[in-house]
Each structure stands twice: as C-alpha cells, then as structure tokens.
C-alpha cells in the first residue's frame, strides 16, 4: 500500500483499476524531404483533419460542460489558422527541407517557450494550448489518431498532466476518476473536471507515475486529495463505506430541494449561487439556489476579442434574468485588472497588480466602458429582479460618483423611452478593509453589501491570493477578517441595508453558525454547495 497526496479538484471517492494514460507522444524525427510541395500538401491535409477533430471535441464539450468551457476548443481551431504559426511551419519545411512533423514540433517548442516567457498569466497558459494543437497535428500527420486507452472497463486514468482536449475526449462513461502528477487547480483541465463531475486529484507529484501501472488497484479521494495505491482489504473496505456514505448524503441532499433555508429556531437566510457565465444557470437551477448572489460579468469581456457592445451585454444579462424567472440576480460590474488581464484594455504592467488599477478604478477612469455596461444592465432590469453590485470600493466618493452615473443612465433611458426597473437594487462589495471600516458611511448610500472574503482576506492579512507559498500565513478564519464582516453587518442593518457574503468563505460550513449569528442575510456559494449549506442551516439552533 503506497500513499500519495495531491489536490482534490472534485470531491468524490473512486475505487478502481489504474489505466495509465497513453499519449501517442510524437516521437518526431527530422527527415530530409525532396518534394517540398508534397510536404505542404501533407501538412494542409493534416490541418483539415485536426480541425474536424477539434470541431467534434467542441460539440462534445458544448453538451457536457457548456459554452464557456467549450470555447477553448474554438480558440484551438483559431490557433491552427494563426498566420505566424503557419508561416513558421511553412518556412521550416521550405528553407530546411524538413518533414512537416519536425516543422510542427519545432514551431510548437518555439511558440510554447515564447508564451511561457510572457508576463501575462493568460498568455503563459497559451503555451499548453499551442503544444496541444501541435501534438494533434503531428498525430494526424503520422496517422496516430488521438490519444486513447483500449480497455472497455471503467478505469481511473493516471497521467502526467491532461490537456483540455484530452480531458474532454475522455469517455465519461468509462472514467471513474483521474489523477495527474502535475497541473494546477485553476487550470482549464481542473475546471473541466469539476464541470464534468469526474472525481479528480491533481498535482500528486512525479513519483506517483513511477509507482503505478495498468491494472493496479487504486483509491482516489477527491475530498482530501489522498491517493492510495494497492490498498489492503481493510483500507478498501473503509473507503467503500465512505463512498457509500457520500452517495447516501448526496441522495439525502436532493430531498432538501424546495425546502426553506431556516434554522431550528426560525432564523432565515437566503442561499444564492455564484456564476461566471450564462451557462452556469443550469447548475444554479438544478441545485435549487434561491437566486444568483454574484454573477462575475468579466467573463463577457474575457471571452471577447474586443469590448462587448451594449447589445451583446444586454442579451446576456437578459438571458440570465429571464432564466431565473423573477428570482434575485446580482450582477457585478466589470472586475478586471490584478489576476484578470484583457489585452484589448491595454492596461499598463504594474509592480503590484492586486493593489493596482483594477475593477471600479478602471470603470471610473474610463466612463465609456462603464456607461456601456450600466446601460445594458438597466435595460436588462426590465426582465427580472436585478441587483447591480460594484467591486473594490474603498471610499464614499467612489459610491457617490457611481450613483450619479447610474442616475444619469436612468434619465437617459427614460428620455429614450426604454423600459427599466426603478426598483433595481444597488450594492457594493465589501472586499477592502477600508470599505468595512467606513461601512457606517457607505450603508446609507446603498441597498446592500456583499462581502468578498477572497479579497477582504488578501488585503486584511497582506497575503497575495495568487501566491501559494503564503497559504500557511493566510488564516481564512482570522479574527481580523471576521470582525470586519461583523462590523459591516451591524452597520448595514443600522441603515436598513441587507448584507450577504459571496466570497469562498460563504461555503465554509464551519463558519455558517458564526455568520448567521452576525446577522448575515444571504450566502452565495458555487452551485454544488447550495444543498450542503441548506442542510447545515436547517440543523442549527441559534437559541441553544
């Protein structure tokens, strides 16, 4: 029995046999070609096949994980057509008389190295994509087909890492779980696994792959990140019991659908869900969330090649509001900068991006962007129950400026005869210590607060949330953060505003009682946490 530890990406337990992922890793050899034109033709033919494969993968992803996540394969198809990439391959074939496989492999190495060296984290991540499409092209050139495993039994796929296209190509019916030696929890692969509901543990380390072979028995605990290779009978029985309990718990939670979020002593709390795109609505409805507490609107900008127009935004917001059929939908205005960079915004490189030009600071400096989004939001407000929320607030004057712009937009729409909902609520995120400390001054200006604990923790404890090394210093239950939340709750209520929490801490069930005792009115969590949270709330007795 050998134990390993990685990061759980999707919380569930799997017990089964190992299938080591066999990638037709292109053993590319450089050969001399005489007929350059014939080589060009081979390359073009391979590109056509690769494009067809990608389009099938895109369709599969669309069905299984939704449009937002499927779009990466559209990006791959675009990369295959990229002029610089194609010119580099053609040049190598022509000037060095080399085979197309070799030209593709060297271009891939060069481009991947170039992307990896960029400062922008989004561009760095493109290195994996360029390798992914190039491996596909090489497989097409050598007729190797796509990576596959032959077994027809259900298996636990173990790999060094999986590219997004490899993850989506896995046959969900035959994969019990997957384990990778490398990878990060924010990679596309991890996000896809979560959305495909496949138990997964990543970043288990290099030794792991040396210790497993096809057919080995293995246990994967996606909750804890524990991996047990060749478990003894007692351990396997223990995990089988845990797995059965998990299943029973999940079934029991289903019975909570339609029930109230009310404690034993009658206190109520709204449980809403967070989404990052229109395709998140399915999970929100399936998990019976009472509304959407945070719609991170930046996805519209991140997925676009240029500033999304008022009409494009209006259609997206309207769709969310209509799908939620009168339930509250809180849409947060653009929050880019820091870890979310967008090329066409042409933001300057900064020494301390988390403390830099981000979110509301960009919107107030570039009002044309802000006004377009606000017009789209107010127009959409006529189609449901909208709340508009502003990120990264630090001062009263920012809120006053925002409110004046909102009033201007409403007057404009009225003048144009365009309907909007006068009752649209306006709120701010409490995610800087400054906002929490002056929450007594901010509360009278708005309808609600929503605490962004991810940033509030980062700024209060001076711990960069992107820096994994700081985890030991970043106590998410730190008294300073909890006091700031409590202070904000008291000030909100004193001035007739309501207060929710939409950061990750809202899903921390060990804090639910603390939050309810503070008087938090709403908790917004990712959709799979709605029913576990409801379960916790219903078992609490605040009078005990």
- Of 41-49, 255-263, 345-353, 449-457, which part binds ligand PEP (CB under 6 A)? 449-457
State the Cα–Cα distance between residues 18 and 220, nearest whole angstrom. Answer: 11
> x/- site string to Mg ion, residues 504 to 533, per CB under 5 A?
------------------------------
Indicate which of Mg ion, ligand PEP, none lies near residue 502 (CB less than 5 to 8 Å, by partner kind): ligand PEP
CB of 503 to ligand PEP, least distance (A): 3
Nearest Cα neighbor of 342 from 307, 309, 374, 368 is 307
Residue from 296, 358, 379, 534 touching ligand PEP (CB under 6 A): that is: 296
SS3 392: coil
Judged by CB under 5 A, the stretch of 107-115, 152-160, 232-240, 452-460 that binds Mg ion is 452-460
CA distance 288 to 17: 35
Report the residue number whose CB is nearest to Mg ion: 455
Q: Does 280 bind ligand PEP (CB under 6 A)?
A: no
455 binds Mg ion (CB under 5 A): yes
What is the bridge-based pairing of β-strands 385-390 and 328-332?
parallel
Residue 521 interacts with which of Mg ion, ligand PEP, none, CB < 5 to 8 Å by class: none
For residue 267, which of 41, 544, 24, 504 has the smallest C-alpha distance? Answer: 544
**Which span sits near ligand PEP by CB under 6 A: 65-73, 172-180, 398-406, 446-454?**
446-454
Strand order of the sheet with strand 200-202? 2-5, 226-229, 217-221, 13-20, 155-159, 175-180, 200-202, 7-10
- Interface of this chain with Mg ion, residues 430 to 449, rule: CB under 5 A: 431
Name the catalytic one among 158, 363, 406, 502. 502
- When CB distances are held under 5 to 8 angstroms depending on the partner's kind, the choice from Mg ion, ligand PEP, none that residue 388 binds is none
Instruction: Measure the CA–CA gap between 226 and 236, rounded to whole angstroms.
Output: 13
| Residue 453 lies near ligand PEP (rule: CB under 6 A) | yes
Contacts of 150 (CB under 8 A, 6+ apart): none
Bridge partners, 218 (sequence order) = 16, 229
Nearer to ligand PEP, 333 or 381 (CB): 333
Of positions 454, 476, 490, 514, contacts ligand PEP by CB under 6 A: 454
The one among 436, 446, 502, 537 contacting ligand PEP by CB under 6 A:
502
Q: Which of residues 334-373 bind ligand PEP (CB under 6 A)?
A: 335
Catalytic residue among 69, 76, 158, 188: 188
> If you write DSSP's letter for every residue of 105-150 in order, what string do you get?
HHHHHHHHHHHHT-S-HHHHHHHHHHHHHHHHHHHHHTT--S----
Q: Residues 6 or more apart from 232 whose CB is under 8 A from it?
A: 1
Give the one entry of ligand PEP, Mg ion, none that residue 296 binds, where binding means its C-beta sits below a cut-off of 5 to 8 angstroms depending on kind: ligand PEP
Decide: 88 and 112 in contact? Cβ < 8 Å: no
Using the contact rule CB under 6 A, the part of the chain among 56-64, 216-224, 453-461, 488-496 near ligand PEP is 453-461
- Please tell me whether residue 298 binds Mg ion under the rule CB under 5 A: no
Q: Which is nearer to ligand PEP, 267 or 354 (CB)?
A: 354
Q: Please list, residue by residue across 160-184, b when 16 or more beta carbons sit within 10 angstroms of its beta carbon and e when fewer do.
A: ebbbbbbbbbbeeeebbbbbbbbbe
Please name which of 424, 470, 54, 180 lies closest in space to residue 62, comparing C-alpha atoms: 54
Among 16, 337, 387, 452, binds Mg ion (CB under 5 A): 452
* Integer angstrom CA distances of residue 434 from 358, 395, 447, 456: 16, 7, 19, 10
For Mg ion, the closer of residues 12 and 429 by Cβ is 429
Does 503 sit near ligand PEP (CB under 6 A)?
yes
Nearest to 353 by CA among 161, 544, 121: 121
The three-class DSSP label of residue 382 is: helix
Q: How many residues bind ligand PEP (CB under 6 A)?
A: 10
**Is 129 one of the binding residues for Mg ion (CB under 5 A)?**
no
Task: Pick the closer one to ligand PEP by CB: 294 or 376.
Answer: 294
Residue 394 binds ligand PEP, judged by CB under 6 A: no
- Smallest distance, Å, CB 455 to ligand PEP? 3
Between CA 190 and CA 207 the distance in angstroms is: 21
Nearer to Mg ion, 425 or 431 (CB): 431
Active-site residue, 502 included: yes
The count of other CB atoms within 10 Å of the CB of residue 273 is 27
Residues that bind ligand PEP (CB under 6 A): 294, 296, 335, 431, 452-455, 502-503
Contact residues for Mg ion (CB under 5 A)?
Answer: 431, 452, 455
Residues known to be catalytic: 188, 502
């Amino acid at each position: 029995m050998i134990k390993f530890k990685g990061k759980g990406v999707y919380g569930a337990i799997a017990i089964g046999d190992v299938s080591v992922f066999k990638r037709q890793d292109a053993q590319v050899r450089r050969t001399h070609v005489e007929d350059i034109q014939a080589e060009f033709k081979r390359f073009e033919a391979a590109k056509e096949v690769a494009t067809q494969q990608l389009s099938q993968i895109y369709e599969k992803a669309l069905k299984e994980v939704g449009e937002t996540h499927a779009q990466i394969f559209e990006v791959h198809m675009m990369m295959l057509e990229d002029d610089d990439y194609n010119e580099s391959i053609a040049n190598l074939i022509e000037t060095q008389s080399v085979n197309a496989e070799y030209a593709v492999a060297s271009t891939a190495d060069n481009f991947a190295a170039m992307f990896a060296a960029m400062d922008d984290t989004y561009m760095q991540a493109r290195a994996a994509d360029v390798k992914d499409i190039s491996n596909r092209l090489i497989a097409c050139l050598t007729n190797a087909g796509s990576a596959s495993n032959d077994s027809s039994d259900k298996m636990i796929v173990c790999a060094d890492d999986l590219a997004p296209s490899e993850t989506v190509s896995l046959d969900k019916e035959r994969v019990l779980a997957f384990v990778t030696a490398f990878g990060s929890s924010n990679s596309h692969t991890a996000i896809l696994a979560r959305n495909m509901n496949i138990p997964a543990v990543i970043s288990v380390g290099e030794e792991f792959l040396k210790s497993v072979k096809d057919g080995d028995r293995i246990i994967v605990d996606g909750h804890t990140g524990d991996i047990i290779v060749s478990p003894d009978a007692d351990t396997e029985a223990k995990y089988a019991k845990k797995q059965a309990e998990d299943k029973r718990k999940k079934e029991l939670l289903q019975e909570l659908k339609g029930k109230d979020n009310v404690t034993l002593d009658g206190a109520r709390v709204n449980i809403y869900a967070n989404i990052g795109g229109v395709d998140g609505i399915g999970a929100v409805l399936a998990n019976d969330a009472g509304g959407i507490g945070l719609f991170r609107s930046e996805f519209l900008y991140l997925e676009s090649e240029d500033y999304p127009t008022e009409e494009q935004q209006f259609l997206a917001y309207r769709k969310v509001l209509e799908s939620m059929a009168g339930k509250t939908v809180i849409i947060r205005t653009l929050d880019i900068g820091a870890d979310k960079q967008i090329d066409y915004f042409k933001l300057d490189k900064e020494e301390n991006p988390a403390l830099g030009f981000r979110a509301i600071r960009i919107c107030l400096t570039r009002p044309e962007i802000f006004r377009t989004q606000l017009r789209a939001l107010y127009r959409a407000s006529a189609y449901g129950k909208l709340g508009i929320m502003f990120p990264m607030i630090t001062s009263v004057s920012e809120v006053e400026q925002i409110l004046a712009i909102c009033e201007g937009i409403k007057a404009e729409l009225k003048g144009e005869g365009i309907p909007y909902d006068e009752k649209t609520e306006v709120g701010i995120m409490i995610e800087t210590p400054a906002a929490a400390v002056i929450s007594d001054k901010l509360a009278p200006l708005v309808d609600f607060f929503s605490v962004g604990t991810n940033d509030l923790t980062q700024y209060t404890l001076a711990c960069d949330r992107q820096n994994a090394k700081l985890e030991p210093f970043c106590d998410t239950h730190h008294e300073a953060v909890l006091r700031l939340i409590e202070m904000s709750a008291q000030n909100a209520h004193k001035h007739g505003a309501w207060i929710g929490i939409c950061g990750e801490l809202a899903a921390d069930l060990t804090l639910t009682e603390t939050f309810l005792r503070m008087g938090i009115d709403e908790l917004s969590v990712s959709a799979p946490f709605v029913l576990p949270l409801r379960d916790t709330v219903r078992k609490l007795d605040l009078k005990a």
